[in-house]
Amino acid sequence: MVVFEIIVLGANGGPSEYGTQSFILRPVRAESPALIAVDGGAGMHQLREMLAQKWNDNEDYDELVPSFYEHDREPIEFFVNSKLSIQRGLSRSLLQSLKRHGEHFEDANTTNKAYKLFQGITDYYITHPHFDHISGMVINSPSIYEQENTKKKTIWGLPHTVDALQRHVFNDLMWPDLTAERSEKLKLSYLNSKEVHKCTIFPWDVVPFKVHHGIGVKTGAPVYSTFYIFRDRETKDCLVVCGDVEQDHAGLEESLLEDFWSYVAENIPLLHLKGILVECSCPLSFKPEQLYGHLSPTCLINELSNLNTLYNSSKGLSGLNVIVTHVKTAPAKRDPRLTILEELRFLAQERNLGDLRISIALEGHTLFL
């Protein structure tokens, strides 16, 4: 059964500034146009683009997606597993719920529609405060004061995220401190690692996990990020959405990733693990010292092999959807996303991980898992 609808606003890991990591989640076929976001690297502009797209019931996938390497556009099937349920733009279910809940929605222009849609995002779950994960959210934030907007927004995160956003972003220097407004329309709220938090608008549990993400250039101090598990309380199905991450290694004090996979294998039956959205920033040609707190295909397959060992299923991880995000743009002959996808598929086969369904997250598309 399909449970999660994932709108990919941004899946880019920089240095190109367009469409950096940002996902919107909702239960499939939800009645209301309520939404939550995981990371906010992109926002309103992408929503406008998606609303402006013509929706076609019989869209078959001879669709071309932007690439800008061998060709400026490449066929979508180069990027996604054939069994992945994906469509360009927004789902019919979401558009219908917007029509039901918004007067004159259908007659509104695309920008007014985008504001309506954006109002529905009441909660942001941020993985870490790097610009490529927050820029859209920050720049979009004044729109909560639009007259028609009656909804509030809460930005959730582990202490390393919330403290940095308060101290270094919403501080009246980098950006107005909208959290200090008397209307309290924008709020920052703490989550605790490994503690179950009840999502305020969906019947979902959210469990955040602190993970490592390299070290500071000047300080050498550890940098942290977050993995989120979203669990539907009715169906028990789960979705894992990862922030930037580095593998556990000898120099680190805690084995945060090992703890994470153990939690997953102990608490989520493999059949209920609907998908993992995870970064794989750099291709195999990058040396370990060039990763700067990110994963390469070898690292990601090592992590998935660890999960496979913990599940100990005779079929490996067959049927599991792994959606790769945050691939870095770099001068190259071939689209690095296609290089990484090929490397991941090769390594997964070599390590006998079963019929793993690996795809690239594509901006401007909706996935159903």
Q: Which is nearer to Zn ion, 214 or 319 (CB)?
A: 214
Residue 132 in the binding site for Zn ion (CB under 5 A): yes
Structure tokens at 143: 């729109």
Which span sits near Zn ion by CB under 5 A: 62-70, 196-204, 241-249, 329-337? 241-249
Nearer to Zn ion, 9 or 238 (CB): 9
Least separation in angstroms between residue 357's CB and Zn ion is 24
Question: Could you tell me how far CA 86 lies from the centroid of its own chain?
Answer: 15
Segment near Zn ion (CB under 5 A); pick from 43-51, 65-73, 238-246, 264-272: 238-246
Q: How many CB atoms lie within 10 A of CB 350?
A: 9
Q: Nearest distance from residue 145's CB to Zn ion, in Å?
A: 28
Residue 246 interacting with Zn ion (CB under 5 A):
no
Q: What is the per-residue binding string for Zn ion in 61-90, x denoting contact by CB under 5 A?
A: ------------------------------
- CB under 5 A: which stretch of 156-164, 173-181, 239-247, 252-260 binds Zn ion? 239-247
Q: Closest CB to Zn ion among 91 and 225?
A: 225
Return the amino acid letter for 110. Answer: T
* CA distances in angstroms from 23 to 205, 271, 325, listed in the order given: 17, 23, 10
Query: Least separation, in Å, of the C-beta of 127 and Zn ion?
Result: 8
As a whole number of angstroms, the distance between CA 341 and CA 323 comes to: 10
Q: Pick one of 130, 160, 337, 365: the residue that binds Zn ion (CB under 5 A).
A: 130
- Of 39, 123, 232, 244, the residue at the interface with Zn ion (CB under 5 A) is 244
Query: Could you give the dihedral angle defined by the CA atoms of residues 199, 200, 201 and 202, in that order, rounded to the nearest 10 degrees?
Result: 30
CB of 254 to Zn ion, least distance (A): 19
Q: Tell me the closest approach of the beta carbon of residue 223 to Zn ion, in angstroms.
A: 7
Beta strands 222-232; 238-242: pairing state = antiparallel
Radius of gyration of the CA atoms of the chain, in A:
20
Please identify which residue in the block is written with the tokens 């990110």: 294
Tokens of 96: 């219908």
Element (H, E) at 261: helix 256-267
Q: How far is the CB of 244 from Zn ion (least distance, A)?
A: 4
In this structure, the number of other CB atoms found within 10 A of the CB of residue 96 comes to 14
Name the residues that contact Zn ion, by CB under 5 A. Answer: 130, 132, 244
